[in-house]
Amino acid sequence: MLKSTLPRLCCPQLHREKQCLGALQIKDESAPDEITYGTLLCSVCESEYPIFEGVAILVPDVRAYLLTHVKGISKFVADEHIPLEYLEDYQDYRNEIEEEHIEEDLESDRVNALYLMNHYLSVSGAETQWWKSVPESESPLITELIEKYWDHGPLSVVPAWVPEHSAVIELGCGVGGLYRKLKKHSDFYLGVDSSFQSILIARHLNLGTPYRGELRYPGDLLYGNLSQKMEVSIESGGQREGKLQVDFVVGEIDAVPAIHGGFDVSISLNAIDMLDEPKRLPEAQARVIKSGGLCIQSGPYIWHEKIARGLRGRAPRDTKDSASVVEWLYRKSGFKIEDSERHIPWLFFKHLRQIEIYSVHAFVAKKET
């Protein structure tokens, strides 16, 4: 974590559902600008938050986080860095990790690889035709779809909605590829995501911090799950005129660890349908931006039936589909929708013979109240 990011952050601790918001300080003041290992301390409630491999873990319940994300963390962090109070439980959980591959597991190499491709590989200007990794084995249909739609996914519609010189926060930023598309627009960008491995990769690619894993993507499954080595340029700075302009931290949408009202634009792409309470996303996006600020949201709206039932029960009668229900949620949180796109193609390259296609709704809205 960069020391210079600290003034933008705040304590995520929840006290009877109210967020502490206290200022954070680094325990060891002599720490270098890029803090690889250390502890952040809240000046109000004295909660402590560890930094592992440069990734600050800014969540209300650090113990629960370490246990549920043990898979992502233990791949990169030696046990000696885990605070002693958590170590025994952490080791017990690690022993129980299931090796089997789960599509939704954002701490798995395979899922991160699919997002890495989505965020960092393009078709136009590509040095290698990565969608044709085994010569003469490619599917003509998949090739046609990739070449036509890949570069026009959700990340591509966002830059036109972000005003120049904005301070931007992205909630659920994943591996951080949107930053590269926004860096010309923004003066400051903070990415927040609950996946440790995704934040580690985002910092590696955009701040040049070390990453012990290998960035790979799938080709022909005959050669394994992730048979291709990914070549992505590693950027080393986020420095512009001496001003640091980018960082990524682990945090949760329910307790965003960034100062409230501190940003011009809040972005969250394709995360709302992962939340138990979708209305918490517009509420969180509203809290972190200034009055008059903008919020950008997108989603393929793959609701769990339980969540869909809750939404159906509450939404007004004239909301006929997921897109209009989500717009209604945002209006209820004080936003006015300014522009929207109903169907944006979103492709995932699962291997040489399989792609997954989603249709994504996206909009930009202004905070009015």
**Which residues contact Zn ion (rule: CB under 5 A)?**
11, 13, 20, 22, 42, 44-45, 47
Query: Are the beta carbons of 161 and 142 closer than 8 angstroms?
Result: no
Considering the complex, state which of residue 6 and residue 315 has its C-beta at the smaller distance from Zn ion: 6
Kindly identify the residues of this chain, within the stretch 264-283, that bind ligand SAM according to CB under 6 A.
269-271, 274-275
42 binds, options Zn ion, ligand SAM, none, Cβ within 5 to 8 A by partner type = Zn ion
Residue type, 46: E
Shortest separation between residue 49's beta carbon and ligand SAM, angstroms: 15
Position 108 contacts ligand SAM (CB under 6 A): no
Position 107 contacts ligand SAM (CB under 6 A): no
Position 154 contacts ligand SAM (CB under 6 A): yes
Residue span 159-188 as binding mask against ligand SAM, x where in contact by CB under 6 A, dash where not: -------------xxx--------------
Position 249 contacts ligand SAM (CB under 6 A): no
Kindly identify the residues of this chain, within the stretch 190-219, that bind ligand SAM according to CB under 6 A.
193-195, 198
270 binds, options Zn ion, ligand SAM, none, Cβ within 5 to 8 A by partner type = ligand SAM
45 binds, options ligand SAM, Zn ion, none, Cβ within 5 to 8 A by partner type = Zn ion
Shortest separation between residue 172's beta carbon and ligand SAM, angstroms: 3
Give the tokens for residue 51.
């930094």
Residues contributing to the site for ligand SAM (CB under 6 A): 106, 115, 118, 154, 172-174, 193-195, 198, 252-253, 269-271, 274-275
